[in-house]
Structure 1
């Protein structure tokens, strides 16, 4: 195992992000005595977590790690942590009696662990709103108590039906640091990225186009229905489809609205649709509209760069550092303060697959000598 890979696995284990396979790989690596030394030195240096030999107490490990999670109030860690106790014990035994101890003040003073903010997903139903916990399974009801759908953990599924009456809208707001899915009443699945708002009908109306309103970024898997074309309305450009898969990136801070087509066919247009102002995309093409401009351009692209976020990956291709930190802020719900303006214009290429932010920061530090300081959820680039 390379040094970078071992450090990556250690960080993922410490931040409770490692998969079972990764923990098993780390455990196998720790069978070598020299690797145990590397592990302990890395943990002590980067996380202010001490190591003590011949004092292993599995009960104390469970207690102290649980307290540490509760203290930091990080729901994401809580969700994943319970399944790791036995693997923590395996690693501790492999280290010959190593254990973590809770020292909050010391840990914070080292300023090496990011503590992201924890904001709620909000579902607006008419004049009422409720918070959605991605761990819940529950029915969603309207103001009259009628069940209109069901929350299944990180997906909201609406009852399949078309309405014969007036449109009734719901709005869902996804905060920074989270993603969510909504399955609309026609069966269309919408993957919502962090910092995104989607307004949509509880039920679509018969003999009318299916219309939704998007601010942020979403990946659509549209259910085919020739009688009811599907429209995505953004502040800058509109998208019309019959049944297809595509990504729309229309964050308010972006200079462009980008639509990337993965499968099927879509048309893009500004304002009112006419035969003259429609631009049609084929799979593998990106259509773009710059704010304040009427023209819609298109080009051939690698669609994976634009859809990798759906599976938890971050891909940066010829991206400026300023653009990168904007995406990192959304992904991890943190704040970057970049005091290095020259660095902000530098171009980078990188890919991260479901990595904790500590791994991302360490990559930029090791690969590009980028210096930074952490204060809970604020990261200052020097």
Structure 2
């Protein structure tokens, strides 16, 4: 504590030391503060004060005068508590201003959560909304404005949203070429920069999806999928009784139903961050239906090998599938 006190009076504290000093002061009793300050008082001549010695001497004289006027019946302990209060007041004021400034800095900074290839993450927003991020995804929002008049985030990648219901404050997702507005709902959103489409699969609640390219707007009901063309802004809405397949990645699965093998291969590449070359006659246009694990590449390759009579050769992150 002595070292921190001296460094504070010399205005040499780092941010971490200032935080440590605040914690220690909050846990100390009046008697402990009295002892520390009394020791500093006795050694004050050896301390170079950043506030100026003349100011400090004047403050000390004023304190002595005030204490003398009170009464000689005041105990030594009480007198030093008064001294401690007078000396610590600037410290507490300084700490209050510092932490107020730090909280304002945090509020004005943009909060960003992102995942790399093969990574996943969960985030709970200030209003209680839960977002699960698939690999290579990014979510941003401003704490200062979030949950005031609106709950607005910026998003890219793939995410599963469980939006906390609040009829007074809408939840807005601003992504590439689209704006999603909800009050409280559950949906999976797919918006990647390298894809020419965005897709929203609604499990529960109601969602308004707007194309910022064409200004076309649709309102989705549960078990519907909206597929938006980034180039034209057109939105196609289809009913899907297997809507939860779209968020199967959260359970560690990749589910395909009558999907061309080429698209399956692209999904495997994206999920595992690998490059796959397939040598087979016309097999890439074959339709594939099945479930592949999202966390076991060897098992995925074994399923593909058996289904299409292929053999895989792995070299680092490159995979060659050939007959």
Per the alignment, residue 76 of structure 1 pairs with none
Aligned residue number for residue 255 of structure 1 = 196
2:210 to 255, 262, 269: 269
Distance 1:334 1:203 in 2: 40
Equivalent-residue separation in structure 1 for 2:228 and 2:201 (angstroms): 12
Q: Distance in 1 between matches of 2:309 and 2:100?
A: 57
Report deviation, 1:196: 1.1
Q: Does 1:345 align with 2:285?
A: yes
Once structures 1 and 2 are overlaid, which stretch shifts more, 342-351 or 202-211? 202-211
User: Residue 289 of structure 1 corresponds to which residue in structure 2?
Assistant: 228
Q: 1:229 to 1:272 in 2, by over 3 A?
A: farther
Residue 263 of structure 2 aligns with which residue?
323
CA distance in 1, matches of 2:298, 2:116: 20
Residues 351 and 326 (structure 1), Cα distance of their counterparts in 2 relative to 1, 3 Å cut: same
Deviations 1:238-262 (A, max 9, x none): 1100010001011222222110100
- Whole-angstrom distance in 1 between the partners of 2:296 and 2:196: 28
Match of 1:378 among 312, 318, 321: 318
Matches within 5 A, 1:1-382: 168-202=109-143, 204-205=145-146, 207-271=148-212, 277-301=216-240, 302-340=242-280, 342-353=282-293, 356-382=296-322
Q: Distance in 1 between matches of 2:144 and 2:263?
A: 37
Residues in 1 aligned to 2:227 and 2:208: alpha-carbon distance in whole angstroms: 12
Tell me the secondary structure at the aligned position of residue 282 of structure 2.
helix
Bigger radius of gyration, 1 or 2?
Answer: 2
- CA drift of 1:203 comes to 5.0
Cα distance in structure 2, aligned partners of 1:181 and 1:192: 6
Do the aligned residues in 2 keep the contact of 1:338 with 1:380 (CA within 8 Å)? Answer: yes
Residue range with higher mean Cα deviation, 283-292 or 333-342: 333-342
> Residues 341 and 207 from structure 1, CA distance in 2 versus in 1: closer, same or farther, beyond 3 angstroms?
farther
- 5+ residue gaps, structure 2, are 1-98
- The TM-score with structure 2 as length reference comes to 0.62
* TM-score, length basis structure 1: 0.53
Alpha-carbon distance, 1:320 to partner: 2.0
- As a proportion of its length, which structure holds more helix? 2
Structure 1 residue runs without a partner (length 5+): 1-143, 149-162
Change (3 A) 1:204 1:225: farther
Task: Identify the structure with bigger relative contact order (alpha carbons < 8 Å, sequence gap 6+).
Answer: 1
Q: How many residues align?
A: 222
- CA–CA separation in structure 2 for the residues paired with 1:337 and 1:366: 17
Task: Give, in whole Å, the separation in 2 of the partners of 1:146 and 1:262.
Answer: 42
Runs of 4+ in 1 over 6 A off after TM superposition: 144-148
For the aligned residue pairs, the C-alpha RMSD in angstroms reads 2.7
